[in-house]
Amino acid sequence: MALQMIQKLKSLDAYPKINEDFYSRTLSGGIITIISATFMVLLFFSELKLYLAAQVANDLVVDTERGGTIQINLDVTFPALACSVVSLDAMDISGEAHLDVKHNIFKKRLDVNGKVIEPARQESINQPKLDKPLQKHGGRLEHNETYCGSCFGAETEEDHCCNNCEEVREAYRKKGWALNNPDLIDQCKREGFLQKIKDEDGEGCNVYGTLEANKVAGNFHFAPGKSFQQANMHVHDLMAFGKDSFNVSHKINEISFGVRYPGAVNPLDKLERIQTTTHGMYQYFIKVKFTEKRMSFFHFLTNVCAIVGGVFSVSGIIDAFVYHGQKQIKKRLGKDT
């Protein structure tokens, strides 16, 4: 009875064994075996990497339900907006505003072909011929004297100094004033502010970096000109550039939120917009929402089995094709001789 049961079980064997005497091992079979084994190992480690990354991602997902700040990763290219023109502002409903953000924000000048322009030293021939900087008290800087430049009426304190063009522009911004003619400002004239704008005319700019923002409703925007608040209005000073229109065509290389992790989908990445009119403004509305899809161990195991079985089957087909092809070639060569 037991012997009959064993015989029945043997008849159900879906994997019948072939005696080793009937095996025919070939060179092509050995090469295909090595290649397929290597391929299986590579695919296995690739799948393992994805599985482990999915497990780690659970700890990296940003908790958007709680307060605090969130990191915004930015990388935007403006092919027709010079770096000296474009600025970045951020503000939210809590009333917090960061104007002309520079911390952790970087810019690369681009030529008309989109290639990076290496920083070059200003030629002395383009610099205004002023012997000494103008002091706050009105005289020129004397030997061994500490320099304290005028803020041209925008001083916040008696000892407030503006030692370069950017500091004067910042002082004006805080006052809510526009800088109409930079050539009337000693620091801007000495630094060739207007000449720099003319030199960069026709260039593009790649703006990239990180921005810290509160986890509340708000906005950040790129715009030409230095921004300031005037009569509770957000204004950009364009007077210094001598233009009434700007081409704000752009390509969003990346706008993502929180720590980067594998598998994250950022809806605005690779988005490109070309301005076809004289004036233009582009707005994007985003809600920061993270949905986690975690791979189970059984899903990982299924994928591994699929890899092994798939590669094994395909390599078997290739091996059979090569083996029978070689046999046919040998037969024909034998007939010809």
Residues 313-326 pLDDT 10s: 888 888 888 878 88
Least confident stretch, 67-71, 91-95, 152-156: 67-71
Q: Residue 79: its pLDDT value, please? A: 94
Task: Reply yes or no on whether the pLDDT at 275 is more than 60.
Answer: yes
**Stretch 216-233: mean pLDDT:** 81
Instruction: Of 132-136, 156-160, 260-264, give the range with the top mean pLDDT.
Output: 156-160
- For residue 58, the one-letter residue type is N
Task: Reply yes or no on whether the pLDDT at 297 is more than 60.
Answer: yes
What mean pLDDT is reported for the chain?
A: 80
**Stretch 232-256: mean pLDDT:** 83
The residue behind tokens 């993270």 is 290
**Stretch 257-261: mean pLDDT:** 79
> What secondary structure, in 3-state letters, does the chain show?
CHHHHHHHHHHCCCCCCCCHHHCCCCHHHHHHHHHHHHHHHHHHHHHHHHHHHHHHHHHHCCCCCCCCEEEEEEEEEECCCCCCCEEEEEEECCCCEECCCCCCEEEEEECCCCCECCCCCCCHHHCCCCCCCECCCCCECCCCCCCCCCCCCCCCCCCCCCCCHHHHHHHHHHHCCCCCCHHHCHHHHHHCHHHHHHHCCCCEEEEEEEEEEECCCEEEEEEECEEEEECCEEEEECHHHCCCCCCCCEEEEEEEECCCCCCCCCCCCCEEECCCCCCCCCCCCCCCCCCCCCCCHHHHHHHHHHHHHHHHHHHHHHHHHHHHHHHHHHHHHHHHC
Q: Residue 104: its pLDDT value, please? A: 92
Cβ–Cβ < 8 Å for 240, 193: yes
Q: What percent of the chain has pLDDT over 90?
A: 17
Which of 322 and 88 is assigned the larger pLDDT?
Answer: 88
Q: Residue 67: its pLDDT value, please? A: 56
**Stretch 241-253: mean pLDDT:** 87
**Stretch 38-62: mean pLDDT:** 73
Q: Residue 15: its pLDDT value, please? A: 56
pTM: 0.60
Q: Residue 58: its pLDDT value, please? A: 53
Task: Reply yes or no on whether the pLDDT at 97 is more than 90.
Answer: no
Least confident stretch, 126-130, 145-149, 268-272: 126-130
Give the span between the Cα atoms of 40 and 97, in whole angstroms: 54
Task: Reply yes or no on whether the pLDDT at 125 is more than 50.
Answer: no
Q: How confident is the model at residue 36 (pLDDT cuts 50, 70, 90)?
A: confident
Q: Residue 121: its pLDDT value, please? A: 40
**Stretch 121-127: mean pLDDT:** 41
